[in-house]
Amino acid sequence: MAFATMHTWLLYFIPLVVVLWLYFRHRARRERVHREALAHAEEAGLREPVSLHPMIDASRCIGSAACVKVCPRMRSASSTAKRNW
């Protein structure tokens, strides 16, 4: 009986260990690639996003004010400010 129990453990434990090893190896590789990309961006002086301010295309605006709901800068703007929607 102990022999069968040991085989059962090995049957499930070994594949689990292999899958976890593959997962963590893949994760470490991805992290290394992303760290290298970050280092290259910092060397080039690209530490901020391309645009720090929202850009609203007035020709595509439908007046739903959805941009205000998702943009913290617009939400904090004065409620008396004139808006075009």
How far apart are alpha carbons 48 and 46 in whole angstroms? 6
Tokens of 77: 């703007």
How far apart are alpha carbons 35 and 16 in whole angstroms? 28
* pLDDT for the residue numbered 50: 66
Mean pLDDT of 27-46: 93
Give the residue with greater pLDDT, 12 vs 73: 12
Q: Residue 82 is which amino acid?
A: K
